[in-house]
C-alpha cells in the first residue's frame, strides 16, 4: 500500500509537470513581465557587440584601421580582455546598490562611446580605448546586467526568466554573422556599426522611458557595512568550491574553439563537419535554455545543478574514445544543451544560497574569474599540443577537470537543496 501511494505521488508529479499547473508558462511569464524580460533580453543581445565572434567578423578591417600586425592585435586584444575582467570585478558589484535603470544608462552610454571612438578616431590610443570599452561594456557589463536583473527580480519563475534572457546571446551568434556578411556587399564596416548603434539607441530609449524598472536591493552604505562586517559570500569556502564547476564548460570550449583545426585533425574529422556542428551547437542552446529554465522552476535548482553538465561530459567521453565526425557532433550538441542550461542554473544557484542582494558582487567575481581562466586556457592547451599530446587526451583531461569541479560543488549544491532562499 505504501509503495502504491508513492507511485501515485510520483505519477501525479509527472502530470503536474506536463500540465505546468504549478507555475506560469513562458507565454504567461512574457505577458505578465514583458517589460522587464524585454529589457534584460535587450541587454544580453547588446552584449554581442563586445563578444569575440562579433569583433572577429571585422578583424581585418580593424587591424587595417589601427595599423597593427596579427601579433600586435592579438597581444593587445588579450591585454584588453584581461583588463576588462579586472574592471568587471569592481564595477559589476555596483549593481547591488545602483538603480538598474541608471546603471543600464551609464553602461550603454560607455558602450556607444567606445563604438564611436573605435570607428571615428584617427589616433591609435583613442581607438584602442574604444575597443576596450566595447569589450568591457559588451562582453562584461551588459551580459552581467541582463542575468542579474532576471535572477534578482523573479522568484517563482526565475529559471524560466533566466532561460529566456540567456537566448539573447545565441540569437546574436546566429543572426548577426549572415546579416553582416550580406550588409558588407553594400556598406563598409564603419557604416554597419553605425547602423547597429542607431537601432540599439532606438531600442534603449524605448526601454529606458517606457519600462517600469525595479529598484536596487540595497543602498551603497548597507553594502559597505555588510562587507566590512564580513557578510560577504566571497569570504565563504562554499563559494570557491562552486566556481570550478561553473567555469568548466567555458574553459573547455575556449580550448576547443581556439584549436579547432588541431582537434579535427587529431580526431580524424573534417573542418566542414566542425562548421556545421558549431552552428548546431548555437541552435541547441535554445532548447537547453528553455528546458533548463522550466526544469529549474519545476524540480529545483539543486537537482538540475547536479546533472546539467551530463550532455557535455558524455560528448567529451565519447569523442575521447572514438573520435571522428561523430565525436565532433556529440561535443558540440552536448555543449549547446549544457551551455543553454548553465545560465538559469548557475545564477539561480547563487541566489538560492546567498540571496538577491549579493548577486551583483557574486556575478562580477564569477565573470572576472571566467575571463582570467579562459585567458589562460589557450596557453595551457597550446603547451600540451606542442608537447605532442593528442587532442583526444586533451579532451579526456577536460572531462577530468569537469568531474573534479562537479565533486567540489556537491557540498554547496547540497546546501541549496536543504535551505530556503535567504530574504533580502
The residues, any chain, with a CB within 8 Å of residue 356's CB and separated by 6 or more, are: 151, 152, 217, 424
Are 168 and 288 members of one domain? Answer: no
Are 180 and 250 members of one domain? Answer: no
3-state helix, strand, coil in the chain (%, to 5): 85, 0, 15
Question: Maximum Cα–Cα distance for the chain, whole Å?
Answer: 81
Are 299 and 238 members of one domain? Answer: yes
Q: Domain end: 196, 219, 242, which one?
A: 219
Q: Which domain holds residue 348?
A: 234-418
**Side-chain-facing half-sphere of 190: CA atoms under 13 Å:** 9
Are 247 and 179 members of one domain? Answer: no
Angle between helices 100-120 and 143-153 (to 10 degrees): 170
Return the pLDDT at 12.
Answer: 47
Q: Is residue 59 part of a domain?
A: yes
Q: Is residue 3 part of a domain?
A: no
C-alpha cell at 262: 588541431
Are 249 and 342 members of one domain? Answer: yes
Tell me the CA distances in angstroms from 393 to 103, 235, 271, 310, 319, one per residue in order. 45, 36, 20, 19, 10
Are 34 and 176 members of one domain? Answer: yes
Return the pLDDT at 323.
Answer: 87
Q: Domain end: 172, 195, 219, which one?
A: 219
Does residue 260 contact residue 267 with C-beta atoms inside 8 Å?
no
Q: pLDDT tens string for the chain (424 positions)?
A: 443 444 444 334 433 443 443 345 777 888 888 889 999 999 999 999 988 778 888 888 888 888 888 778 878 888 888 888 888 888 888 888 889 999 999 999 999 999 999 999 888 899 999 999 998 998 889 999 998 888 888 877 888 888 889 888 888 888 888 888 888 889 999 999 999 999 999 999 999 999 888 887 765 555 555 554 445 677 888 889 999 999 999 888 888 887 888 888 899 988 888 888 888 888 898 888 888 888 888 888 888 889 999 999 999 999 999 988 999 999 999 999 999 999 889 888 888 888 777 788 888 888 888 877 777 787 788 888 888 899 999 999 999 999 999 999 998 888 877 666 654 4
Are 200 and 243 members of one domain? Answer: no
Distance CA 242, CA 312 (A): 18
Angle between helices 26-46 and 143-153 (to 10 degrees): 160
- Show the beta-strand stretches assigned E in 275-341: none
CATH number for the domain spanning 379: value is 1.20.1250.20
Does residue 180 contact residue 379 with C-beta atoms inside 8 Å?
no
Q: Is residue 82 part of a domain?
A: yes
Does residue 213 contact residue 98 with C-beta atoms inside 8 Å?
no
Return the pLDDT at 85.
Answer: 81
Q: Is residue 224 part of a domain?
A: no
- Show the beta-strand stretches assigned E in 252-377: none
Are 267 and 195 members of one domain? Answer: no
Return the pLDDT at 116.
Answer: 95
pLDDT in tens, 1-41: 443 444 444 334 433 443 443 345 777 888 888 889 999 99
Q: Is residue 399 part of a domain?
A: yes
For residue 295, which of 283, 278, 310 has the smallest C-alpha distance?
Answer: 310
Are 138 and 84 members of one domain? Answer: yes
C-alpha cell at 122: 584617427
Are 143 and 59 members of one domain? Answer: yes
Are 44 and 187 members of one domain? Answer: yes
Are 56 and 167 members of one domain? Answer: yes
Q: Is residue 119 part of a domain?
A: yes
Does residue 325 contact residue 271 with C-beta atoms inside 8 Å?
no
Containing 79, the helix (H) or strand (E) segment is helix 70-91
How many domains are contained in the chain?
Answer: 2
A 10 A CB-CB count for 236 gives 15
First to last CA, the chain: 44
Does residue 273 contact residue 264 with C-beta atoms inside 8 Å?
yes
Return the pLDDT at 24.
Answer: 52
pLDDT in tens, 48-99: 998 877 888 888 888 888 888 877 887 888 888 888 888 888 888 888 888 9
Distance CA 376, CA 364 (A): 19
Return the pLDDT at 276.
Answer: 86
Amino acid at each position: 500500500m505504501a509503495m502504491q501511494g508513492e507511485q501515485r505521488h510520483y505519477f501525479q508529479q509527472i502530470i503536474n509537470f506536463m500540465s505546468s499547473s504549478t507555475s506560469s508558462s513562458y507565454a504567461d511569464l512574457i505577458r505578465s513581465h514583458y517589460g522587464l524580460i524585454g529589457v534584460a533580453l535587450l541587454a544580453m543581445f547588446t552584449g554581442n557587440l563586445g563578444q569575440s565572434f562579433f569583433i572577429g567578423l571585422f578583424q581585418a578591417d580593424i587591424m587595417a584601421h589601427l595599423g597593427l600586425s596579427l601579433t600586435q592585435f592579438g597581444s593587445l586584444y588579450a591585454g584588453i580582455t584581461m583588463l576588462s575582467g579586472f574592471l568587471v570585478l569592481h564595477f559589476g558589484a555596483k549593481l547591488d546598490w545602483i538603480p538598474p535603470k541608471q546603471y543600464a544608462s551609464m553602461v550603454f552610454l560607455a558602450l556607444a562611446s567606445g563604438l564611436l571612438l573605435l570607428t571615428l578616431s584617427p589616433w591609435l590610443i583613442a581607438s584602442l580605448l574604444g575597443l576596450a570599452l566595447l569589450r568591457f561594456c559588451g562582453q562584461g557589463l551588459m551580459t552581467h546586467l541582463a542575468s542579474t536583473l532576471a535572477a534578482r527580480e523573479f522568484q517563482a519563475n526565475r529559471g524560466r526568466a533566466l532561460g529566456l534572457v540567456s537566448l539573447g546571446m545565441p540569437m546574436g551568434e546566429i543572426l548577426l554573422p549572415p546579416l553582416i556578411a550580406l550588409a558588407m556587399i553594400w556598406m563598409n564596416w564603419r557604416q554597419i556599426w553605425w547602423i547597429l548603434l542607431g537601432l540599439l539607441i532606438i531600442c534603449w530609449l524605448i526601454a529606458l522611458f517606457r519600462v517600469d524598472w525595479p529598484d536596487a536591493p540595497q543602498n551603497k552604505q548597507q553594502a559597505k557595512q555588510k562587507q566590512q562586517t564580513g557578510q560577504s559570500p566571497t569570504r565563504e569556502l562554499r563559494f570557491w568550491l562552486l566556481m570550478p564547476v561553473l567555469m568548466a564548460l567555458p574553459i573547455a570550449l575556449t580550448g576547443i574553439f581556439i584549436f579547432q583545426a588541431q582537434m579535427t585533425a587529431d580526431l580524424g574529422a573534417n573542418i566542414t563537419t566542425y562548421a556545421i556542428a558549431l552552428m548546431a551547437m548555437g541552435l541547441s542552446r535554445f532548447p537547453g535554455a528553455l528546458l533548463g529554465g522550466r526544469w529549474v522552476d519545476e524540480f529545483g535548482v539543486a537537482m538540475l545543478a547536479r546533472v546539467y553538465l551530463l550532455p557535455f561530459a558524455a560528448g567529451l567521453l565519447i569523442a575521447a574514445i572514438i573520435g571522428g565526425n561523430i565525436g565532433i557532433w556529440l561535443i558540440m550538441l552536448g555543449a549547446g544543451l549544457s551551455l543553454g542550461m548553465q545560465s538559469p542554473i548557475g545564477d539561480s544557484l547563487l541566489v538560492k544560497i546567498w540571496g538577491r542582494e549579493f548577486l551583483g558582487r557574486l556575478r562580477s567575481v564569477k565573470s572576472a574569474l571566467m575571463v582570467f581562466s579562459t585567458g589562460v586556457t589557450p596557453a595551457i592547451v597550446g603547451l600540451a599540443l606542442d608537447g605532442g599530446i593528442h587532442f583526444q587526451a586533451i579532451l579526456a583531461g577536460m572531462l577530468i577537470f569537469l568531474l573534479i569541479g562537479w565533486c567540489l560543488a556537491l557540498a554547496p549544491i547540497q546546501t541549496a537543496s536543504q535551505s530556503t532562499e535567504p530574504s533580502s
